[in-house]
Amino acid sequence: MPKRRFFDAYVHLPIPSGEGISIKELEEKIVLLSEKCRESGYKGCIYTIQVRDKQRISRKYLRSIYNFIRKSEKLDKNTVHGLRIEIIEQNQQKILNYIRSLRAYADIISIAGINRGILALGSRDRRVDVVTLIPGITPQIFRGDISYALSLNKFFELQLYHLLKKDIIKTARAIDFARTLINPLAKKKVNLLVSTGPFEPYSPRNPKNVVAFMKKFFDLPEDYVVKNMSEKIEYLITKNRLKLEKKIPVNGVYIEEN
């Protein structure tokens, strides 16, 4: 039986302000992060850049990071590394502006479900791939959101960063909040990602341990968690790349090469 290829969907990269860190430094960091990721049992990693309010990102910078990631992917065979942009913003119009300007520069676009409006936007907009759930902040997910997410094949994401706190009571509370968020999603078999999150320094957990954690604490079926962390996320990246290369111009149409 072939081994599962697990992906860490959130490997935090520092914010590319253009002045703080040079591209060379960032490239070195990417190499270190990928080594750490592989050591802990993942096959590939998705580097994530956070975009917060009033922040400007140079597109040249983004393009060079993306190219480096694609290049590093070719060096070690059978792996897929991706670039993801996570938008953390309260204003919906600003989110739409970010999506419009940054969609072409990343494999995955995700938004943090901070409030009701953003949660609804995230589950309805085709350009958003992942909606991040923050236990304690994200409100209840409604039936309408779930049905849209199912029809558009969207992912909801839970980060270990939001669950593993230093204080035991805070950890227990976060797990409880997460349980109420996840239960309706798991019932309807909506895609659910479990990733490391923006730990500083980056400290990934073994994917098999994460699967066992989800099984024991959230009563999720093992197969459901494993599939989402491996096959489905890889499929999402390859599909989005084909879309960016314009080989999938419209949903359901694939242009073959001669």
Partner 1 sequence: MVYILKKIKKRYIIIRTKISDKEELLKKLVNAIMYAFGLEGLSRTRPTVIYSKDNKHVVAIDKDGVDYLRAALVFSLYEDVKILRITGTSRKAKRIVDSLK
Using rule CB under 8 A, residue 209 touches partner 1: yes
Give the dihedral sign, CA 140/143/144/146.
Answer: positive
Using rule CB under 8 A, residue 99 touches partner 1: no
Using rule CB under 8 A, residue 186 touches partner 1: no
Closest residue by Cα to residue 120 from 91, 94, 93, 149? 149
Phi-psi region of 220 (alpha: psi -120 to 50; beta: other; left: phi over 0): beta
What is the closest distance, in whole angstroms, from the C-beta atom of residue 112 to partner 1 in the complex? 22
Using rule CB under 8 A, residue 231 touches partner 1: no
State how far the Cα of 111 lies from the Cα of 99, in Å rounded to an integer: 9
Closer by beta carbon to partner 1, 4 or else 215: 215
State how far the Cα of 123 lies from the Cα of 126, in Å rounded to an integer: 8
Among 74, 77, 143, 216, binds partner 1 (CB under 8 A): 216
Using rule CB under 8 A, residue 50 touches partner 1: no
Using rule CB under 8 A, residue 17 touches partner 1: no
What is the closest distance, in whole angstroms, from the C-beta atom of residue 172 to partner 1 in the complex? 11
Closer by beta carbon to partner 1, 25 or else 39: 39
Using rule CB under 8 A, residue 210 touches partner 1: yes
**Number of residues near partner 1 (by CB under 8 A):** 19
Closer by beta carbon to partner 1, 140 or else 209: 209
Using rule CB under 8 A, residue 3 touches partner 1: no
Interaction with partner 1 in 161-180: which residues (CB under 8 A)? 164, 168
Sheet holding 82-88, edge to edge: 7-13, 44-52, 82-88, 108-112, 130-133, 155-159, 191-195
Contact 51, 86 (CB under 8 A): yes
State how far the Cα of 136 lies from the Cα of 138, in Å rounded to an integer: 6
Candidates 2-10, 114-122, 128-136, 213-221; binding stretch for partner 1 (CB under 8 A): 213-221
Closer by beta carbon to partner 1, 90 or else 209: 209
Closer by beta carbon to partner 1, 148 or else 217: 217
Among 204, 230, 233, 237, binds partner 1 (CB under 8 A): 204
State how far the Cα of 232 lies from the Cα of 68, in Å rounded to an integer: 24
Using rule CB under 8 A, residue 147 touches partner 1: no
Using rule CB under 8 A, residue 160 touches partner 1: yes
List contacts with partner 1 (CB under 8 A).
39-41, 160, 164, 168, 203-206, 208-213, 215-217
